[in-house]
Amino acid sequence: MIKNKKFVMVMALLFCLFGLLFISTYLYINDTNKKETRTRISVIVYGSNSDRWTTLKQGIDQATEDFGAEVNFCLMSSETDAKEQTLLLEREIENGSKGIIIAVTDSRNMAETIQEASLKVPVIMVETKADDVDNIIYISADNYSMGLNIGRSVYLNSKKNSKVAVYVKKMQRSSVYERYQGFMDSFKYTENKITGWELAKDDDPAEYLKRMIKEDPVDVIVALDDMSLEEVIDAVQGTATSLEVYGIGSTSKIVHNLDYGVINSIVFQNEFNMGYLSLQEVLSNIHHNGGVPDIEVEFRTVNRETMYLPKNQRLVFPIVQ
Amino acid sequence: MKAKIIKLLQRAVHYYRHKSIQFTLSISFTLVALTGMGFMGTIIYSRFISSTKEIIIGNNKQVIEQVNLNLNIYLRNMMRISNAMYYSVIKKIDLSNESLDKEMNLLYEANKDNLVSIVCFRSNGSLVAATPINNLKKNLHVTKQNWFVKANQEIENLHFSTPHVQNLFHDSSFNYHWVISLSRVVELTYNGNINRGILLVDMNYSGIEQIFAKVNSNNSGYVYLIDSNGEIIYHPKQNLINSSLLHENNKVAATYKDGTHEEDFEDEERIVTVRTVGYTGWKIVNVTPAKEFYMSYNQMKFFTGMIIALTIFLITFAIQFVSYLISNPLKKLDDSVKDLEYGKLDLNIYIGGSYEIQHLGRTITSVVLQMHELMKEIVIEQEKKRKSEFESLQAQINPHFLYNTLDSIVWMVESERYQEAISMVTALASLFRISLSKGKNIITIQEEIEHAQNYLYIQKIRYKNRFQVKIDIASEIYECSTIKLIVQPLLENAIYHGVEYMDGEGEITIKGYLKDEDIYIDVIDNGLGMPEEEINLILRDNTRVHKKGSGIGLSNVHQRIQLYFGPKYGLLIDSELDEGTTVHIHLPRVKYNGNTLNGEEDS
């Protein structure tokens, strides 16, 4: 009888264990099916103009949909304040951000902050990098080559020995600096005269450009980033000069002005890819910390004729899905 | 290998045979249940897999049909607008004195949800009319645009373009529209003359997006749209494809016929269902990655596994219970019968369990009872036999002895020694009296000694006092019990073997005493003694009876004592050659109580 009782008890216990196993496995399977890991990621970009980052944001949004994350997109209130971006970065990490995607506003002054942040959470740099940092992935097009290409475009499309002004601004950003290097190198062996129009800190860009156009007549103005190019557009529009404008960038305003002939040619990078890959990388770095090499995205050179070619129009006018 | 397997099987069978019935039952049933469940599980699982595939393919077809329907509405709407514009307006108007604007605007207003613009060009690319805006961009080469070229190439057809950015009108806001263009050649009338023109209807691309976004919102696979050359018109991840971050098998899909196909693209198995859209030659492609099946397969695997495991568990439980029910009565019966092996007869045989086991129990009980009875009968019979044998032994008074004694008496009477003859006859009479003892087996030691004295008296006369007799019996043993006729055979032995040949120097001593609460009666002679082999033989060999003696051998005495009192008692012989022999009779101390021993009735 005692043996019998024991047997029944053992079987009942086994039955309970079996039930528990069944329920827990069932819940686990359902859980893994339904639960999405919503990792909080912060995207910190320079500047205060959200239009500038539309395409990058589209890429990030697509990646968010594909991989699942909660993305906080942060703009600055000023254009180039390293201190503000540092504070923004620190605040995001404090608020529980598990990964940072950053377009560095000041390559030299942000280096230490970025390096420190990378010890806490994975950091991916896009478009502009910080100088001398280790083990941080940088996703960008080859800025030097972009500079080289816009230089070639100027050389090929403008009249012979034209006088070219480079509107230089925000050289503290590595991207702009490298483009400048590439651009200058493209004119190394030409007869063209290159002048640098460097905006002083307190100058108003519009005023400055208008003044320079008047005081230092040139055939071509080249701008090396989106905001500078938009400023050049504003300055050139309405003037009766036959100035040719070239530049790097692809905001809707730039594209529109390329279409309307204000700009002759642009070089632009695939910022959709940049955004998509940056989120993909930051998420994979949260899970496995590995020294992945820098990622290069493509860039293209288009003018008014080539911008509507099927292969280009898909990148120049991204379909908003 | 074969031998190994056979050996293994044999070992298993051997192991199996030596296990309890419950173990054997539960293991056999469990194995059968496991095999059955495994078989059933496999069938259910494979059936599920094929039906899941069928269901998914069926669903895909349904989805594609729905998309096709919506897409047809979209395309028909475009064609309807184009037809209405051409047949109801352009064909009826002479453009030299009338304008298309009013009708065009009305048509646009009626369909503006999905419509971007309706435009009519002359064959040289100049604008005839356009709505809602009509200021063309400067330096625009309309005639080089794809939709214009295609319409001019095949003038009888309607041409649907792939999605492109509309590049026609000046728009000061930075808006650019992704459109699908429907272009056709139209006949424009100027002063009754017919000129060629191109009518363009640009539909908003987002209309197509909406159709597909709805069906792509659920997670199982996706649907995309290609033109007849495999160029992607819509894809849920179009931007990724444009950016080369993702690839699609669209060029191959364009070659597929309508129906379901299995393909392997970028190391991924997929099921592709294709449906061609009427008139345009576009193809709707539904892609379901095989891993979507596998996911549901895994779930099914889990559930099948769990259900099988649960069933096995329940079956095992039931088997254990049933085998317990079957084997427990058998085990109880076995346990109760086990005592039988150890000779325990007073058994309580278990009767319970199923009818057969109850029957078995009853049968064993009756067998045991019968056995019990038989054994009792055997014991009684044996006892009777022993007693009769014993009695016949006691009755063995050797005729030689009687003849010799009677001869001595005759001889005494002849020589007129009447007194001696009387004593001799009296002694013989007393000898027989005690010998008979009214049929009793048990007498007092006193009576036994008296019997011995009578015998010695007769023998002394016969042997003419060739030996001396000493009797020394402790008085406390006189009234103790003994079986009769145990001392006399020893005396006979002492006389014949010991003192017969000793001329007047023979001496026989009878000593009775208590030692360790047991009675010892020693018969000591100073005769020739016996060698050791003789001693060993004498207690075992029943045939060694002296011809002239009473006929009762030492072994008979020894056996009788042991029969009555147990193996602990009996005779013990000490003998040395030329020194003499001592025979010890070892008896328990039992007070004489009539003719009974240990209160047991002597029948």
Note the ipTM here. Answer: 0.81
Which residues partner with A125 through β-bridges? A102, A138
Q: What is the four-CA torsion angle of A296, A297, A301, A305, rounded to 10 degrees? A: 160
Q: What are phi and psi of A292, to 5 degrees?
A: -85, 140
Nearest CA in chain B to A312: B242
Tell me if A18 is assigned to some domain: yes
- Same domain for A166 and A254, yes or no, is yes
Instruction: Reply yes or no on whether the pLDDT at B567 is more than 50.
Output: yes
Check residues B320 and A124 and name the one with the higher pLDDT: A124
Contact B209 A255 (CB under 8 A): no
Topology of domain B71-289, CATH: Beta-Lactamase (3.30.450)
Q: Rounded mean pLDDT of chain B?
A: 83
- Same domain for A181 and A109, yes or no, is no
Tell me if A309 is assigned to some domain: no
With both helix axes pointing from N to C terminus, report the angle between B554-565 and B355-394 in degrees, rounded to the nearest 10: 140
Q: What is the maximal distance between C-alpha atoms in chain B?
A: 205
pLDDT of residue B600: 42
Element (H, E) at B286: strand B283-289
Average pLDDT over residues B365-371: 85
DSSP-assigned states of every residue in A228-283: HHHHHHHHHTT-----EEEEE---HHHHHHHHTTSSSEEEEE-HHHHHHHHHHHHH
Q: Where are the alpha helices (DSSP H) in B342-354?
A: none
Average pLDDT over residues B124-129: 89
- Same domain for A187 and A255, yes or no, is yes
pLDDT band at residue A178 using 50, 70 and 90 as cut-offs: very high
Number of other residues whose CB lies within 10 A of the CB of residue B251: 12
Cβ pair B106, B88 in contact under 8 A: no
A58, A256, A277 ranked by CB distance to B239: nearest: A58
Cβ pair B337, B362 in contact under 8 A: no
Cα four-point dihedral sign A170, A175, A178, A179: negative
pLDDT band at residue B530 using 50, 70 and 90 as cut-offs: confident
DSSP-assigned states of every residue in A122-145: -EEEESS--TT-SS-EEEE--HHH
Report percent pLDDT > 90 for chain B: 11
Number of other residues whose CB lies within 10 A of the CB of residue A256: 18
Among B353, B410, B470, which Cα is nearest to B21's?
B353
Instruction: Reply yes or no on whether the pLDDT at A15 is more than 80.
Output: no
pLDDT of residue A147: 94
Counted domains in chain A: 3
* Superfamily of domain B395-588, CATH level 4: Histidine kinase-like ATPase, C-terminal domain (3.30.565.10)
A256 shares contact with chain B (CB less than 8 Å): yes
- Same domain for A135 and A279, yes or no, is yes
- Same domain for A11 and A65, yes or no, is no
- Same domain for A10 and A68, yes or no, is no
B205 shares contact with chain A (CB less than 8 Å): yes
- Same domain for A125 and A70, yes or no, is yes
* Cβ neighbours of A252 in B, within 8 Å: 174
Average pLDDT over residues B17-40: 81
B167, B238, B244 ranked by CB distance to A319: nearest: B238
Nearest CA in chain B to A55: B239
Check residues B2 and B569 and name the one with the higher pLDDT: B569
For residue B435, the one-letter residue type is S
pLDDT of residue B392: 58
**pTM of the prediction?**
0.65
Among B482, B493, B491, which Cα is nearest to B446's?
B482
Average pLDDT over residues A64-81: 86
Instruction: Reply yes or no on whether the pLDDT at A115 is more than 60.
Output: yes
Domain ranges, residue A81: 39-141+273-289
Give the pair of three-digit tokens for residue B311: 């069933």
- Same domain for A179 and A249, yes or no, is yes
pLDDT of residue B543: 59
pLDDT of residue B285: 92
pLDDT of residue A171: 81
Average pLDDT over residues B98-122: 88
Tell me if A152 is assigned to some domain: yes
Instruction: Reply yes or no on whether the pLDDT at A286 is more than 80.
Output: no
- Same domain for A115 and A130, yes or no, is yes
- Same domain for A127 and A177, yes or no, is no
Q: What are phi and psi of A199, to 5 degrees?
A: -75, 125
Average pLDDT over residues B462-476: 85
pLDDT band at residue A177 using 50, 70 and 90 as cut-offs: very high
Contact A15 B313 (CB under 8 A): yes
Average pLDDT over residues A33-50: 78
- Same domain for A133 and A147, yes or no, is no
CATH code of residue A67: 3.40.50.2300
- Same domain for A220 and A130, yes or no, is no
B164, B176, B239 ranked by CB distance to A321: nearest: B239
What SS3 state is found at B371? helix
Q: What is the pLDDT of residues B172-183, one digit of tens each?
A: 777 888 999 999
